Chains A and B, each alone.
Chain A
Amino acid sequence: MARTKFKPSKLTLFIGFLLTGIIFLLLPQNVTSKVNFAFIDIFDYFLNMGSAAQKPRPNESGEVVSKEEYLRLQTAYANLDQQYLDLKKQFDILSKVRLTEPDPSTGLVVAKIVNRKDHQLIINRGSKDGLAAGQYVLGDNAVIGLIEQVADDISSVLLITSTNCKLPIKISAPEIKSYFNGTIQGNGKTGAKIGNIPQKYKIKSGSNVYAAERSGLLASSRIIGKISKCKLGAKSAIVWDIEVKPMYDFENITYVAIVVIKTPEFR
Chain B
Amino acid sequence: MKWFRFSMLILAATIIGSSDLMNAISVTDSFIKPNLLLILLVYFAISCETYDAIICCFSIGLAADITGTLIGPYFLSYGIIGTALNYIRKIIILKKTGQQAFAIFITGLVVQLVAVILMKMKISTVTNAGFFIVFATSMYSAILWFLLKIPVVTLGKWLGVGVHRFGVRMEERT
Answer yes or no: are A and B bound together in one complex.
Answer: yes
Interface residues of A (CB under 8 A from B): 10, 13-14, 17-18, 20-22, 24-27, 29, 32-33, 35-36, 39, 43, 46-51, 53, 78
Given A24-B75, A43-B15, A78-B125, A10 and B70 touching (CB < 8 A)?
no
Q: Closest residue of chain B to A8, judged by CB?
A: B51
Interface residues of B (CB under 8 A from A): 15, 18-21, 23-24, 50-51, 54-55, 58, 61, 65-73, 75-76, 79-80, 83, 118, 121-123, 125
Q: Closest residue of chain A to B68, judged by CB?
A: A36
10 contacts between A and B (CB under 8 A): A21-B61, A21-B75, A24-B72, A25-B121, A26-B72, A29-B123, A33-B70, A39-B67, A50-B23, A78-B125
Task: Please name all residues of chain A whose beta carbon is closer than 8 Å to the beta carbon of B73 when the two chains form the complex.
Answer: 25
Shortest Cβ gap from B5 to chain A (Å) = 19
Name the one of A22, A47, A49, A53 contacting B76, with C-beta atoms under 8 angstroms.
Answer: A22
Task: Please name all residues of chain A whose beta carbon is closer than 8 Å to the beta carbon of B15 when the two chains form the complex.
Answer: 43, 46-47
Q: Closest residue of chain A to B58, judged by CB?
A: A17
Contact B75 A50 (CB under 8 A): no
Contact A50 B19 (CB under 8 A): yes
Q: Closest residue of chain B to A31, judged by CB?
A: B71
Contact A29 B122 (CB under 8 A): yes
Task: Please name all residues of chain B whose beta carbon is closer than 8 Å to the beta carbon of A10 when the two chains form the complex.
Answer: 50-51, 54
Task: Please name all residues of chain A whose beta carbon is closer than 8 Å to the beta carbon of B123 when the two chains form the complex.
Answer: 29
Q: In the bound complex, how far is the Cα of B16 from the Cα of A46, in angstroms? A: 8
Contact B20 A50 (CB under 8 A): yes
Q: In the bound complex, how far is the Cα of B76 from the Cα of A195, in angstroms? A: 69
**4 nearest interchain CB pairs?**
A25-B72, A24-B72, A51-B20, A32-B71
Q: In the bound complex, how far is the Cα of B65 from the Cα of A33, in angstroms? A: 10
Most buried by B among A47, A48, A53: A47
Most buried by B among A10, A22, A53: A10
Task: Please name all residues of chain A whose beta carbon is closer than 8 Å to the beta carbon of B76 when the two chains form the complex.
Answer: 18, 21-22, 24-25
Q: In the bound complex, how far is the Cα of B124 from the Cα of A78, in angstroms? A: 13
Task: Please name all residues of chain B whose beta carbon is closer than 8 Å to the beta carbon of A53 when the two chains form the complex.
Answer: 20
Task: Please name all residues of chain B whose beta carbon is closer than 8 Å to the beta carbon of A49 when the two chains form the complex.
Answer: 19-21
Task: Please name all residues of chain B whose beta carbon is closer than 8 Å to the beta carbon of A22 when the two chains form the complex.
Answer: 72, 76
Task: Please name all residues of chain A whose beta carbon is closer than 8 Å to the beta carbon of B72 when the two chains form the complex.
Answer: 21-22, 24-27, 32
Q: In the bound complex, how far is the Cα of B123 from the Cα of A32, in angstroms? A: 13
Q: In the bound complex, how far is the Cα of B69 from the Cα of A78, in angstroms? A: 15
Name the one of A13, A26, A47 contacting B19, with C-beta atoms under 8 angstroms.
Answer: A47
Shortest Cβ gap from A17 to chain B (Å) = 4
Given A25-B122, A35-B71, A39-B66, A17 and B79 touching (CB < 8 A)?
yes
Q: In the bound complex, how far is the Cα of B162 from the Cα of A7, in angstroms? A: 18
Q: In the bound complex, how far is the Cα of B31 from the Cα of A51, in angstroms? A: 14
Contact A48 B83 (CB under 8 A): no
Name the one of B24, B69, B80 contacting A36, with C-beta atoms under 8 angstroms.
Answer: B69
Q: In the bound complex, how far is the Cα of B12 from the Cα of A43, in angstroms? A: 11
Q: In the bound complex, how far is the Cα of B63 from the Cα of A39, in angstroms? A: 10
Task: Please name all residues of chain A whose beta carbon is closer than 8 Å to the beta carbon of B21 when the two chains form the complex.
Answer: 49-50
Q: Closest residue of chain A to B77, judged by CB?
A: A21
Q: In the bound complex, how far is the Cα of B118 from the Cα of A113, in angstroms? A: 33
Q: In the bound complex, how far is the Cα of B62 from the Cα of A39, in angstroms? A: 12
Q: Closest residue of chain A to B19, judged by CB?
A: A47
